[in-house]
Amino acid sequence: MTHNRILFTLNASLFLIASVLVSPSSAELVGYWNFDGNVDDQSGMGNDGELIDASYDNSFPPQIGSGQSISFENDADHVFVEADDSLDSEIFTLAMFIYDRGQVGALERLTSREGDTFETAINVHPPFNGQGEYAYYSGAGGGWQWSDEVPPIEEWQHVTYVANADEEELSIYVDGEMIYTSPDPWFTLPTGFMHIGNRWNDVEGFDGLIDDVALWDEVLDDDAIKTIATRGVAAFLNPGAEGDYNTDGQLDVIDIDLQSEEMNKEPAQQDLAKFDHNNDAVVNIDDRTIWIKDLRKTWIGDSNLDGEFNSSDLVQVFGEGRYETGSPAGWAAGDWNGDMLFNSSDLVFAFAGGGYEMGPLPDGVAAVPEPGSAILVLVGVLLLVARTRRLKMH
């Protein structure tokens, strides 16, 4: 009997695991086109696109940090996605990054469904008093609707359209913030094939770049939309642990040294999606402090990452022999400020952090010793280093 119960429990567990694998949390993602060298559907639903006249561009949103986008220049330029029932829902979230080069004289479509069952656009059409606002069309939901938000010219911006027939409303989000909700009830079912970059009958195309287009047949919440707008769809689908850059399940010396490498790249080459923790469009010392204190929850100067900054860390880094030599150094060898060297600036950075001999970093507490005592400790360390170097010279 015991043997049978074990087998039953094991089989039940395997069934649950299989159910989770078959029905992942992203199962409602029905189309995802990241445009990185192809227009294939990355969602697994098989809604692959076909590139018509448009071209790939090596530009990409800084929030994503790498890849390519699609450049649309002429009215006929578009990505064609064949009709499929999986794309049809009156409840959906449609998200994308756009780079507007400036529209002229019409409702320039970002996306469109066959027969105008649903369209998203930049409204520059004079009869609608258009100034270039984000807009959408729903024949069964009030016709053309447009917001007051005009996308900046030649800057990446994220836009999300969220339709909820249960609530009879459609909302527009820009850079993760809701900027508009339709005044007329929403109860439209988009159907037919889909165009990205122009109207379904190959007119009134968008002049600019589009990237990271994704369609869910559900309403994503505000936090999810914010994550997608600040980090991209791939980061939303595979979040991992923030700061675990090599995705090995640990926040360790390898990760913080990878961060140092990123900090020393030109800003345009930095992978912001992974390394820009405060979303200020650059990877710098502020992101390093966030990794150390907020993510790894330790002190600046904790070279052995045991949760404390004390004499054992100083013994370790000076034992590596990199101090003021100009030789490359990692976190474990004294590079605390991320410039990939170990010198006096690292000591200043570490002792200014206030963690020396303070024990583990308290949760939510910025424990800082008296400035005078921190300076005395730092001066003592520097004198000791200088004395040791003089002895070696003799």
Q: Looking at the structure, do residues 297 and 222 belong to the same domain, yes or no? A: no
Q: Looking at the structure, do residues 131 and 79 belong to the same domain, yes or no? A: yes
Higher-confidence residue of 227 and 161: namely 161
How many structural domains is the chain composed of? 2
Residue 254: which of 335, 332, 361 has the closest Cα?
A: 332
Q: pLDDT at residue 2 above 50?
A: no
- Tens of pLDDT, residues 166-203: 999 999 999 999 999 998 889 899 999 999 999 999 99
Note the Cα 362 to chain centre separation in Å: 29
Please report whether residue 112 resides in a domain: yes
Q: Which residues contact 133 (CB under 8 A, 6 or more apart)?
A: 122, 123, 146, 147, 148, 149, 150
Please report whether residue 18 resides in a domain: no
Give the CATH number, domain containing residue 164: 2.60.120.200
- pLDDT confidence of 378, banded at 50, 70, 90? low
- Tens of pLDDT, residues 79-99: 999 999 999 999 999 999 999
**Residue-level pLDDT at 312:** 95
Please report whether residue 215 resides in a domain: yes
Residue 241 in tokens? 């642990």
Residue 121, helix vs strand vs coil: strand
Please report whether residue 243 resides in a domain: no
Please report whether residue 7 resides in a domain: no
- pLDDT confidence of 385, banded at 50, 70, 90? low
Query: What mean pLDDT is predicted for residues 347-355?
Result: 94
Query: What mean pLDDT is predicted for residues 322-328?
Result: 95
Q: Cβ(119)–Cβ(203) under 8 Å?
A: no
End-of-domain residue from the set 237, 268, 298: 237
Q: Cβ(122)–Cβ(134) under 8 Å?
A: yes
Residues 96 and 111: their CA atoms lie apart, in Å, by 10
- pLDDT confidence of 15, banded at 50, 70, 90? very low
Query: What mean pLDDT is predicted for residues 306-318?
Result: 94
- pLDDT confidence of 13, banded at 50, 70, 90? very low
**Residue-level pLDDT at 221:** 95
Q: pLDDT at residue 373 above 60?
A: no
Taking each helix axis as running N to C, give the angle between helix 311-319 and helix 371-393, from 0 to 180 degrees, rounded to the nearest 10.
Answer: 30
Residues 34 and 30: their CA atoms lie apart, in Å, by 13
Query: What mean pLDDT is predicted for residues 298-314?
Result: 95
Sheet holding 49-52, edge to edge: 49-52, 78-81, 194-196, 107-113, 119-123, 133-138, 143-146
Q: Looking at the structure, do residues 100 and 166 belong to the same domain, yes or no? A: yes
Residue 221 in tokens? 């919440």
Q: pLDDT at residue 292 above 60?
A: yes
Q: Looking at the structure, do residues 229 and 257 belong to the same domain, yes or no? A: no
Query: What mean pLDDT is predicted for residues 296-304?
Result: 95
End-of-domain residue from the set 182, 204, 237: 237
End-of-domain residue from the set 211, 237, 263: 237
- Tens of pLDDT, residues 147-170: 999 999 999 999 999 999 999 999
Residue 309: which of 347, 257, 260 has the closest Cα?
A: 347
Q: Looking at the structure, do residues 258 and 228 belong to the same domain, yes or no? A: no
Q: Looking at the structure, do residues 175 and 317 belong to the same domain, yes or no? A: no
**Residue-level pLDDT at 247:** 74
Q: pLDDT at residue 206 above 60?
A: yes
Q: Cβ(191)–Cβ(138) under 8 Å?
A: no
**Residue-level pLDDT at 246:** 83
Higher-confidence residue of 325 and 392: namely 325
- Tens of pLDDT, residues 249-258: 788 999 999 9
**Residue-level pLDDT at 127:** 73
Q: pLDDT at residue 21 above 70?
A: no
Q: Looking at the structure, do residues 381 and 349 belong to the same domain, yes or no? A: yes
Q: Looking at the structure, do residues 221 and 106 belong to the same domain, yes or no? A: yes
pLDDT, averaged across the chain: 86
Domain that includes residue 63, residue range: 29-237
Please report whether residue 351 resides in a domain: yes
